[in-house]
Amino acid sequence: MTVAFVLGNGTSRRHIELTDLKSYGTVYGCNAIYRDFNPDYLIAVDSKMIVEINREQYQNCTPVWTNYNKMYINFTGFNYFKQSKGWSSGPTALWLASEHDHDTVYILGFDYQGIGESNELVNNLYAGSENYKKIDDKATYYGNWLKIIEKHKKRKDVKQFCRGVLNLKMYLNRESQDHFFKLVPDASFHPILKGRIISQELFYESKDLSKIMNNYQLQIPSNSDSETDIDYYFELITTAIITRNFEVMTWISEKFKIKTNYSNYYKFEHYEQYGLMVMLLFMFRQDLESLQLWQKSVSFDNFPRNYETLMLQYVYILKYHTSKTNKISYKNQYLEGAKNFYPSFFNEAYLNNYFKS
Give the tens place of pLDDT for each residue, 238-288: 999 999 999 999 999 988 776 656 566 567 788 889 999 999 999 999 999
Report the alpha-carbon distance of residue 95 to residue 321 in Å, rounded.
48
Report the alpha-carbon distance of residue 156 to residue 166 in Å, rounded.
15
Q: Is 6 exposed, middle or buried (0-12, 13-18, 19+ CB in 10 A)?
A: buried
Cβ pair 30, 42 in contact under 8 A = yes
Q: How far is CA 195 from CA 113, 167, 221, 245, 280, in A?
A: 22, 14, 14, 15, 20
Q: How far is CA 107 from CA 3, 19, 199, in A?
A: 11, 16, 23
Tell me the chain's radius of gyration from C-alpha atoms.
22
What was the pLDDT predicted at 141? 67
Cβ pair 105, 6 in contact under 8 A = yes
Report the alpha-carbon distance of residue 71 to residue 355 in Å, rounded.
60
**In sequence order, which residues have a C-beta less than 8 Å from that of residue 15 and are 6 or more positions away?**
none
What was the pLDDT predicted at 95? 87
Rounded to 5 degrees, φ, ψ at 206 are -55, 140
Report the alpha-carbon distance of residue 354 to residue 347 in Å, rounded.
11
Cβ pair 290, 321 in contact under 8 A = no
Q: How far is CA 174 from CA 6, 10, 108, 243, 333, in A?
A: 33, 28, 30, 12, 22
What number of other Cβ atoms are within 10 A of residue 190's Cβ?
A: 12
Q: Look up residue 132 and give its DSSP letter.
A: S
What was the pLDDT predicted at 5? 94
Rounded to 5 degrees, φ, ψ at 353 are -105, 10
What number of other Cβ atoms are within 10 A of residue 144's Cβ?
A: 12
What was the pLDDT predicted at 93? 92
Q: How far is CA 238 from CA 111, 200, 253, 256, in A?
A: 19, 11, 13, 14
List pLDDT tens digits, range 161-204.
878 888 898 899 898 888 898 898 888 888 888 999 999 999 98
Where on the phi/psi map is residue 47: left (φ > 0), alpha (ψ -120 to 50), or beta? alpha
Which residue ranges of the chain lie beneath pLDDT 70? 114, 117-119, 141-154, 223-228, 258-266
Q: How far is CA 269 from CA 273, 292, 296, 301, in A?
A: 7, 20, 17, 9
Question: In one letter, which amino acid is 46?
Answer: D
Cβ pair 32, 132 in contact under 8 A = yes
**Residue 7 β-bridge partners:** 108
| Contacts for 177-186: CB closer than 8 Å, 24+ residues apart | 177/203, 177/204, 180/204, 181/150, 184/156, 184/160, 186/156, 186/157, 186/160
β-strand 104-108 against 79-80: which pairing, if any?
A: unpaired
Cβ pair 268, 262 in contact under 8 A = yes
